[in-house]
Structure 1
Amino acid sequence: MDDVFCALLPRLYRRAVLIAGGRQSAEDIVHEAYLKLAARPQRFLAHPEPYAYAFSALVSVARDTYRRDRRQVPVGDVDRQAGAAGAEGWDGGVGDRQARLETVRLLRGLTPRQAAVVVLVDLDGYTIDQAAEILRVHRGTAARHRERALGKLRTLVRAPQRAGSEREGAP
Protein backbone atom coordinates (compact mmCIF):
# COMPACT_ATOMS: atom_id res chain seq x y z
CA MET A 1 0.00 0.00 0.00
CA ASP A 2 2.80 2.40 0.87
CA ASP A 3 4.36 2.12 -2.60
CA VAL A 4 1.07 2.92 -4.34
CA PHE A 5 0.32 5.80 -1.98
CA CYS A 6 3.85 7.22 -2.28
CA ALA A 7 3.50 7.21 -6.07
CA LEU A 8 0.38 9.38 -5.68
CA LEU A 9 1.86 11.77 -3.09
CA PRO A 10 3.02 14.61 -5.38
CA ARG A 11 -0.36 14.82 -7.10
CA LEU A 12 -2.25 14.52 -3.82
CA TYR A 13 -0.16 17.29 -2.22
CA ARG A 14 -0.87 19.64 -5.15
CA ARG A 15 -4.59 18.90 -4.98
CA ALA A 16 -4.67 19.23 -1.18
CA VAL A 17 -3.25 22.75 -1.48
CA LEU A 18 -6.00 23.65 -3.94
CA ILE A 19 -8.79 22.14 -1.90
CA ALA A 20 -7.63 23.42 1.48
CA GLY A 21 -7.06 26.88 0.03
CA GLY A 22 -4.74 27.87 2.83
CA ARG A 23 -7.24 26.99 5.56
CA GLN A 24 -5.07 24.15 6.72
CA SER A 25 -1.81 22.52 5.86
CA ALA A 26 -1.79 20.30 2.78
CA GLU A 27 0.57 17.97 4.59
CA ASP A 28 -1.95 17.55 7.40
CA ILE A 29 -4.75 16.74 4.98
CA VAL A 30 -2.68 14.19 3.08
CA HIS A 31 -1.48 12.62 6.32
CA GLU A 32 -5.02 12.28 7.66
CA ALA A 33 -6.15 10.82 4.32
CA TYR A 34 -3.29 8.30 4.53
CA LEU A 35 -4.38 7.28 8.01
CA LYS A 36 -7.94 6.76 6.75
CA LEU A 37 -6.69 4.62 3.87
CA ALA A 38 -4.24 2.68 6.06
CA ALA A 39 -7.12 1.55 8.26
CA ARG A 40 -8.46 -0.50 5.33
CA PRO A 41 -5.63 -0.94 2.82
CA GLN A 42 -7.36 -3.78 0.99
CA ARG A 43 -10.12 -1.41 -0.19
CA PHE A 44 -7.58 1.12 -1.43
CA LEU A 45 -5.51 -1.48 -3.27
CA ALA A 46 -8.55 -3.23 -4.76
CA HIS A 47 -9.99 -0.02 -6.19
CA PRO A 48 -9.65 0.23 -10.00
CA GLU A 49 -8.44 3.84 -9.75
CA PRO A 50 -6.37 4.36 -6.58
CA TYR A 51 -5.96 8.12 -7.20
CA ALA A 52 -9.72 8.60 -7.27
CA TYR A 53 -10.10 6.62 -4.04
CA ALA A 54 -7.32 8.57 -2.33
CA PHE A 55 -8.72 11.88 -3.65
CA SER A 56 -12.11 10.99 -2.20
CA ALA A 57 -10.51 10.38 1.21
CA LEU A 58 -8.62 13.66 0.85
CA VAL A 59 -11.83 15.61 0.17
CA SER A 60 -13.54 13.92 3.10
CA VAL A 61 -10.76 14.99 5.47
CA ALA A 62 -10.74 18.54 4.08
CA ARG A 63 -14.52 18.81 4.36
CA ASP A 64 -14.55 17.52 7.95
CA THR A 65 -11.87 20.00 8.94
CA TYR A 66 -13.68 22.82 7.14
CA ARG A 67 -16.91 22.04 8.97
CA ARG A 68 -15.09 21.94 12.30
CA ASP A 69 -13.15 25.14 11.62
CA ARG A 70 -16.04 27.23 10.32
CA ARG A 71 -17.49 27.29 13.81
CA GLN A 72 -14.51 29.36 14.87
CA VAL A 73 -14.43 33.11 14.41
CA PRO A 74 -12.06 33.83 11.50
CA VAL A 75 -9.46 36.57 11.55
CA GLY A 76 -9.61 38.85 8.52
CA ASP A 77 -7.30 37.99 5.65
CA VAL A 78 -4.50 40.40 4.90
CA ASP A 79 -4.86 41.67 1.36
CA ARG A 80 -1.48 41.26 -0.28
CA GLN A 81 -0.99 42.29 -3.83
CA ALA A 82 1.78 40.55 -5.70
CA GLY A 83 4.05 42.63 -7.89
CA ALA A 84 4.16 42.33 -11.65
CA ALA A 85 6.36 39.72 -13.26
CA GLY A 86 8.86 42.38 -14.34
CA ALA A 87 10.84 42.03 -17.54
CA GLU A 88 9.55 40.17 -20.55
CA GLY A 89 10.57 36.58 -20.94
CA TRP A 90 11.50 34.17 -18.22
CA ASP A 91 10.96 35.50 -14.74
CA GLY A 92 12.51 32.67 -12.78
CA GLY A 93 9.17 30.98 -12.21
CA VAL A 94 7.68 33.93 -10.33
CA GLY A 95 4.76 34.23 -12.76
CA ASP A 96 3.90 30.55 -12.37
CA ARG A 97 4.12 30.84 -8.60
CA GLN A 98 1.88 33.92 -8.60
CA ALA A 99 -0.64 32.08 -10.79
CA ARG A 100 -0.66 29.14 -8.37
CA LEU A 101 -1.11 31.46 -5.41
CA GLU A 102 -3.96 33.26 -7.18
CA THR A 103 -5.61 29.89 -7.91
CA VAL A 104 -5.36 28.94 -4.24
CA ARG A 105 -6.75 32.36 -3.24
CA LEU A 106 -9.72 31.93 -5.55
CA LEU A 107 -10.41 28.35 -4.48
CA ARG A 108 -10.27 29.46 -0.83
CA GLY A 109 -13.53 31.30 -1.47
CA LEU A 110 -15.27 27.98 -2.18
CA THR A 111 -16.45 25.19 0.08
CA PRO A 112 -14.26 22.07 0.02
CA ARG A 113 -16.81 20.14 -2.03
CA GLN A 114 -17.12 22.97 -4.58
CA ALA A 115 -13.34 23.21 -4.78
CA ALA A 116 -13.09 19.43 -5.20
CA VAL A 117 -15.52 19.41 -8.13
CA VAL A 118 -13.70 22.31 -9.82
CA VAL A 119 -10.34 20.60 -9.31
CA LEU A 120 -11.57 17.27 -10.67
CA VAL A 121 -13.48 18.63 -13.66
CA ASP A 122 -11.58 21.74 -14.67
CA LEU A 123 -8.02 20.90 -13.60
CA ASP A 124 -7.82 17.10 -13.69
CA GLY A 125 -10.06 16.67 -16.74
CA TYR A 126 -12.66 14.31 -15.30
CA THR A 127 -16.24 14.49 -16.53
CA ILE A 128 -19.06 15.56 -14.21
CA ASP A 129 -20.19 11.93 -14.01
CA GLN A 130 -16.71 10.72 -13.05
CA ALA A 131 -16.29 13.52 -10.51
CA ALA A 132 -19.67 12.67 -8.97
CA GLU A 133 -18.66 9.04 -8.69
CA ILE A 134 -15.32 9.91 -7.09
CA LEU A 135 -17.00 12.24 -4.58
CA ARG A 136 -19.85 9.76 -4.04
CA VAL A 137 -22.60 12.25 -4.85
CA HIS A 138 -25.31 12.35 -7.48
CA ARG A 139 -24.39 13.79 -10.88
CA GLY A 140 -26.80 16.68 -10.36
CA THR A 141 -25.25 17.50 -7.01
CA ALA A 142 -21.77 17.63 -8.54
CA ALA A 143 -23.05 19.78 -11.41
CA ARG A 144 -24.80 22.13 -8.97
CA HIS A 145 -21.67 22.45 -6.81
CA ARG A 146 -19.60 23.19 -9.92
CA GLU A 147 -22.07 25.76 -11.23
CA ARG A 148 -22.19 27.57 -7.88
CA ALA A 149 -18.40 27.41 -7.62
CA LEU A 150 -17.93 28.87 -11.10
CA GLY A 151 -20.36 31.65 -10.23
CA LYS A 152 -18.41 32.47 -7.07
CA LEU A 153 -15.14 32.35 -9.00
CA ARG A 154 -16.49 34.74 -11.64
CA THR A 155 -17.53 37.15 -8.89
CA LEU A 156 -14.14 36.90 -7.20
CA VAL A 157 -12.28 37.47 -10.46
CA ARG A 158 -14.40 40.47 -11.49
CA ALA A 159 -14.35 42.20 -8.08
CA PRO A 160 -10.66 43.29 -8.14
CA GLN A 161 -10.98 44.41 -11.79
CA ARG A 162 -13.90 46.71 -10.96
CA ALA A 163 -12.08 48.22 -8.00
CA GLY A 164 -9.02 48.86 -10.19
CA SER A 165 -11.03 50.48 -12.99
CA GLU A 166 -12.88 52.74 -10.51
CA ARG A 167 -9.57 53.95 -9.08
CA GLU A 168 -8.21 54.74 -12.55
CA GLY A 169 -11.28 56.80 -13.43
CA ALA A 170 -11.15 58.83 -10.21
CA PRO A 171 -9.65 62.35 -10.39
Structure 2
Amino acid sequence: MKDDPVLEDLLEHRYASLVGYATLVSGARQDAEDLVHDAIVTVFSKRRRFTSLEHAHAYVLRAIASRHVDARRSWARRASREERATSLAPRFTPGPEDSVGMDDAVVTALAALSPRERACVVMRHLADQSVADTAHALGISEGAVKRYTSDGLAALVASGLLTEAAAQEAGTEQVDVRIGGAR
Protein backbone atom coordinates (compact mmCIF):
# COMPACT_ATOMS: atom_id res chain seq x y z
CA MET A 1 0.00 0.00 0.00
CA LYS A 2 2.95 2.29 0.49
CA ASP A 3 3.95 4.60 -2.31
CA ASP A 4 0.84 3.93 -4.36
CA PRO A 5 0.13 7.14 -6.31
CA VAL A 6 -3.49 6.15 -7.01
CA LEU A 7 -4.13 5.58 -3.29
CA GLU A 8 -2.52 8.90 -2.45
CA ASP A 9 -4.69 10.67 -5.05
CA LEU A 10 -7.79 8.89 -3.81
CA LEU A 11 -7.16 9.94 -0.20
CA GLU A 12 -6.29 13.49 -1.19
CA HIS A 13 -9.01 14.19 -3.75
CA ARG A 14 -11.85 11.75 -3.11
CA TYR A 15 -11.83 10.95 0.60
CA ALA A 16 -14.53 13.51 1.40
CA SER A 17 -16.84 12.19 -1.31
CA LEU A 18 -16.23 8.60 -0.14
CA VAL A 19 -17.19 9.57 3.42
CA GLY A 20 -20.26 11.38 2.10
CA TYR A 21 -21.28 8.30 0.12
CA ALA A 22 -20.66 6.02 3.11
CA THR A 23 -22.72 8.35 5.31
CA LEU A 24 -25.66 7.97 2.94
CA VAL A 25 -25.17 4.19 2.82
CA SER A 26 -24.77 3.68 6.59
CA GLY A 27 -26.89 6.54 7.88
CA ALA A 28 -24.28 7.72 10.40
CA ARG A 29 -21.14 9.81 9.96
CA GLN A 30 -19.13 7.94 12.61
CA ASP A 31 -19.93 4.60 10.95
CA ALA A 32 -19.14 6.07 7.53
CA GLU A 33 -15.54 6.90 8.36
CA ASP A 34 -14.95 3.37 9.66
CA LEU A 35 -16.64 1.95 6.58
CA VAL A 36 -14.44 4.02 4.22
CA HIS A 37 -11.30 3.04 6.10
CA ASP A 38 -12.17 -0.66 6.02
CA ALA A 39 -13.05 -0.51 2.32
CA ILE A 40 -9.81 1.27 1.37
CA VAL A 41 -7.71 -1.15 3.40
CA THR A 42 -9.49 -4.13 1.84
CA VAL A 43 -9.22 -2.83 -1.71
CA PHE A 44 -5.63 -1.69 -1.58
CA SER A 45 -4.22 -4.51 0.55
CA LYS A 46 -4.95 -7.08 -2.14
CA ARG A 47 -2.22 -5.68 -4.40
CA ARG A 48 -4.68 -4.52 -7.04
CA ARG A 49 -3.25 -2.15 -9.56
CA PHE A 50 -5.56 0.61 -10.66
CA THR A 51 -4.92 2.44 -13.88
CA SER A 52 -6.86 5.54 -12.91
CA LEU A 53 -8.28 7.42 -9.98
CA GLU A 54 -11.82 6.86 -11.32
CA HIS A 55 -11.31 3.10 -11.47
CA ALA A 56 -10.04 2.99 -7.86
CA HIS A 57 -12.84 5.31 -6.71
CA ALA A 58 -15.51 3.10 -8.29
CA TYR A 59 -13.95 -0.01 -6.77
CA VAL A 60 -13.89 1.55 -3.29
CA LEU A 61 -17.53 2.67 -3.67
CA ARG A 62 -18.54 -0.95 -4.39
CA ALA A 63 -16.44 -2.12 -1.43
CA ILE A 64 -18.19 0.39 0.86
CA ALA A 65 -21.61 -0.85 -0.19
CA SER A 66 -20.57 -4.50 0.13
CA ARG A 67 -19.01 -3.99 3.55
CA HIS A 68 -22.12 -2.22 4.81
CA VAL A 69 -24.46 -4.95 3.54
CA ASP A 70 -22.24 -7.65 5.04
CA ALA A 71 -22.12 -5.84 8.39
CA ARG A 72 -25.92 -5.46 8.45
CA ARG A 73 -26.40 -9.14 7.64
CA SER A 74 -23.97 -10.13 10.34
CA TRP A 75 -25.71 -7.82 12.81
CA ALA A 76 -29.14 -9.21 11.85
CA ARG A 77 -27.95 -12.81 12.29
CA ARG A 78 -26.41 -11.99 15.66
CA ALA A 79 -29.56 -10.15 16.79
CA SER A 80 -31.68 -13.09 15.68
CA ARG A 81 -29.51 -15.55 17.62
CA GLU A 82 -29.60 -13.34 20.71
CA GLU A 83 -33.37 -12.97 20.46
CA ARG A 84 -33.76 -16.73 20.08
CA ALA A 85 -31.49 -17.39 23.06
CA THR A 86 -33.35 -14.82 25.13
CA SER A 87 -36.70 -16.40 24.30
CA LEU A 88 -35.41 -19.82 25.35
CA ALA A 89 -33.89 -18.60 28.62
CA PRO A 90 -36.10 -18.61 31.68
CA ARG A 91 -37.45 -15.19 32.56
CA PHE A 92 -36.53 -15.65 36.22
CA THR A 93 -33.86 -17.90 37.59
CA PRO A 94 -34.39 -18.51 41.28
CA GLY A 95 -31.26 -18.29 43.36
CA PRO A 96 -30.45 -20.29 46.47
CA GLU A 97 -31.94 -17.54 48.61
CA ASP A 98 -35.37 -18.22 47.06
CA SER A 99 -35.32 -21.87 48.11
CA VAL A 100 -34.96 -20.94 51.78
CA GLY A 101 -37.51 -18.15 51.93
CA MET A 102 -34.75 -15.52 51.91
CA ASP A 103 -35.82 -11.98 52.64
CA ASP A 104 -34.12 -8.75 53.65
CA ALA A 105 -33.84 -9.83 57.29
CA VAL A 106 -31.86 -12.94 56.34
CA VAL A 107 -29.58 -10.99 54.02
CA THR A 108 -29.00 -8.36 56.70
CA ALA A 109 -28.32 -10.96 59.42
CA LEU A 110 -25.89 -12.89 57.21
CA ALA A 111 -24.11 -9.65 56.25
CA ALA A 112 -23.43 -9.02 59.94
CA LEU A 113 -21.44 -12.27 60.22
CA SER A 114 -17.71 -12.44 59.54
CA PRO A 115 -16.86 -13.69 56.04
CA ARG A 116 -15.83 -17.15 57.32
CA GLU A 117 -18.89 -17.49 59.55
CA ARG A 118 -21.15 -16.45 56.71
CA ALA A 119 -19.49 -18.86 54.27
CA CYS A 120 -19.73 -21.76 56.71
CA VAL A 121 -23.36 -21.10 57.65
CA VAL A 122 -24.42 -20.68 54.03
CA MET A 123 -22.51 -23.71 52.77
CA ARG A 124 -23.52 -25.96 55.64
CA HIS A 125 -27.13 -25.01 56.17
CA LEU A 126 -28.37 -23.23 53.07
CA ALA A 127 -26.44 -25.15 50.43
CA ASP A 128 -26.56 -28.41 52.43
CA GLN A 129 -22.83 -29.15 52.20
CA SER A 130 -21.11 -31.56 54.55
CA VAL A 131 -18.51 -30.39 57.05
CA ALA A 132 -15.80 -32.09 54.99
CA ASP A 133 -16.96 -30.52 51.72
CA THR A 134 -17.19 -27.09 53.32
CA ALA A 135 -13.72 -27.45 54.85
CA HIS A 136 -12.26 -28.54 51.51
CA ALA A 137 -13.95 -25.70 49.59
CA LEU A 138 -12.78 -23.05 52.07
CA GLY A 139 -9.35 -24.53 52.65
CA ILE A 140 -9.78 -24.79 56.42
CA SER A 141 -10.00 -27.66 58.89
CA GLU A 142 -13.25 -29.46 59.70
CA GLY A 143 -12.94 -28.21 63.30
CA ALA A 144 -12.73 -24.64 62.04
CA VAL A 145 -15.87 -25.19 59.92
CA LYS A 146 -17.71 -26.44 63.00
CA ARG A 147 -16.51 -23.48 65.07
CA TYR A 148 -17.37 -20.83 62.45
CA THR A 149 -20.74 -22.45 61.87
CA SER A 150 -21.48 -22.52 65.60
CA ASP A 151 -20.44 -18.88 66.04
CA GLY A 152 -22.46 -17.85 62.99
CA LEU A 153 -25.59 -19.65 64.19
CA ALA A 154 -25.18 -18.06 67.64
CA ALA A 155 -25.05 -14.64 65.99
CA LEU A 156 -28.19 -15.47 64.00
CA VAL A 157 -29.94 -16.42 67.25
CA ALA A 158 -28.81 -13.14 68.80
CA SER A 159 -30.19 -11.25 65.79
CA GLY A 160 -33.56 -12.94 66.25
CA LEU A 161 -33.40 -14.73 62.93
CA LEU A 162 -33.13 -18.20 64.48
CA THR A 163 -34.60 -19.71 67.60
CA GLU A 164 -32.30 -21.33 70.10
CA ALA A 165 -33.88 -24.73 69.38
CA ALA A 166 -33.20 -24.44 65.66
CA ALA A 167 -29.59 -23.44 66.28
CA GLN A 168 -29.06 -26.44 68.59
CA GLU A 169 -30.14 -28.79 65.81
CA ALA A 170 -27.13 -27.64 63.80
CA GLY A 171 -24.89 -30.33 65.29
CA THR A 172 -26.03 -33.09 62.95
CA GLU A 173 -29.13 -31.90 61.13
CA GLN A 174 -30.01 -29.44 58.41
CA VAL A 175 -31.21 -26.18 59.90
CA ASP A 176 -33.97 -24.34 58.08
CA VAL A 177 -32.96 -20.69 58.40
CA ARG A 178 -36.16 -18.66 58.24
CA ILE A 179 -37.53 -15.73 60.12
CA GLY A 180 -38.20 -16.90 63.66
CA GLY A 181 -36.50 -20.24 62.90
CA ALA A 182 -39.74 -21.88 61.68
CA ARG A 183 -39.24 -25.27 60.14
Larger radius of gyration: 2
Select the structure with the greater relative contact order (CA < 8 A; seq sep ≥ 6).
1
The interval holding the TM-score normalised by the smaller chain is 0.3 to 0.5
If the length of structure 2 is used for normalisation, what is the TM-score? 0.33
If the length of structure 1 is used for normalisation, what is the TM-score? 0.35
